[in-house]
Amino acid sequence: MRATQKGAFAVLAATTLAALPAAPAGARIIEIGRTAQAGRPSCPASPCQAVSRTTGYQAKVGATRGLMVAPADGKIVAWSITLGSPGRRQIRFFNQNYGGASRGGISILRPGTKLFYRVTGQSPLQSLQPYFGTTVQFPLGRALNVRKGYVVALTVPSWAPALALGFGNDTSWRASRARSACGEPGTQSAQLDLKDLAQYRCLYRTARLTYTATLITTPKPRR
């Protein structure tokens, strides 16, 4: 892997996977989810809060809505995640209580009615612990098709130190949990299979998920 400096975090590119493809003529490269104020993951502070056993997406940051919504048809060719650096005791606690070692990936969601979303594509799950304390980009060996209006979500079957705190009430993210399970972070609710359908009834305010995705748009034919 290669590392460069970006703020307080090293930016790593996982070269064990395929390199990012070049954008074809007429296409755009868009980093879905990138904002000027991304925030820093809470770990290793106390409390060290993590995303756990769910699929989630950022619903709003300040006045910006639809942060993780694809603005055009295209292909997701990579995803990035900024990870906190939990201490050994914190890692042991999360491993023991939230399904084992830290792992994560992205899911493409087709929106329905009443906050139902169906999975139309998924990346491989990645082991995240080797990248704690960094921002890491995972190029996808097989790009994920996405349609305009679909949502790019973060899927975490165990846990990930990828939650930034301290925002206002106008910043929030949603999780694939039933309303009755919003306060049960140890209950498995991650969407792990294609065509899986879930309702995103749980809204968590004052926090944001620290991930983005790289979209190469489908070129439009010239008239």
Taking only the tens place, the pLDDT of each residue in 162-175 is: 999 999 999 999 99
Average pLDDT over residues 14-19: 48
Which residues touch 200 (CB under 8 Å, ≥6 apart)? 56, 57, 115, 116, 117, 174, 175, 176, 177
Q: How many domains does the chain have?
A: 1
pLDDT of residue 21: 77
Average pLDDT over residues 46-61: 94
Distance of alpha carbon 99 from alpha carbon 101, whole angstroms: 7
Q: Is residue 6 part of a domain?
A: yes
Contact assessment for residue 55 and residue 107, using Cβ atoms and an 8 Å cutoff: yes
| Torsion sign over Cα 128, 130, 135, 141 | negative
Residue 19 reports pLDDT greater than 90: no
pLDDT tens column, 80-118: 999 999 999 999 999 999 999 999 999 999 999 999 999
Q: Is residue 29 part of a domain?
A: no
pLDDT of residue 23: 77
Per-residue confidence at 9, pLDDT binned at 50, 70, 90?
A: very low
pLDDT of residue 50: 96
Terminal alpha carbon distance of the chain: 43
Q: Is residue 31 part of a domain?
A: no
Residue 13 reports pLDDT greater than 80: no
pLDDT tens column, 149-208: 999 999 999 999 999 999 999 999 999 999 999 999 999 999 999 999 999 999 999 999
Which residues touch 102 (CB under 8 Å, ≥6 apart)? 91, 94, 95, 127, 128, 129, 132, 158, 159, 160, 161
For residue 92 the two structure tokens come to: 């042991």
Contact assessment for residue 52 and residue 185, using Cβ atoms and an 8 Å cutoff: yes
What are the Cα distances from residue 197, in Å, to 115, 120, 183, 189, 190?
A: 10, 10, 21, 11, 11
Q: Is residue 186 part of a domain?
A: yes
Q: Is residue 40 part of a domain?
A: no
pTM, full prediction: 0.90
Residue 3 reports pLDDT greater than 90: no
pLDDT of residue 220: 79
Q: Is residue 27 part of a domain?
A: no
pLDDT of residue 87: 96
Burial of 46 (0-12, 13-18, 19+ CB in 10 A): exposed
Per-residue confidence at 66, pLDDT binned at 50, 70, 90?
A: very high
The amino acid occupying position 151 is V
Kindly list the strands in the beta sheet with 9-13, ordered across the sheet, starting from the edge strand earlier in the chain.
2-6, 9-13, 134-146, 74-82, 211-217, 29-32
The amino acid occupying position 222 is R
Q: Is residue 23 part of a domain?
A: no
Average pLDDT over residues 53-72: 94
pLDDT of residue 223: 64
Q: Which residues constitute the domain of residue 185? A: 2-18+47-217
pLDDT of residue 12: 53
Check residue 82 and report its DSSP letter: E
Q: Is residue 89 part of a domain?
A: yes
pLDDT of residue 8: 38
3-state secondary structure (DSSP) of residue 60: strand
Q: What is the mean pLDDT of the chain?
A: 90
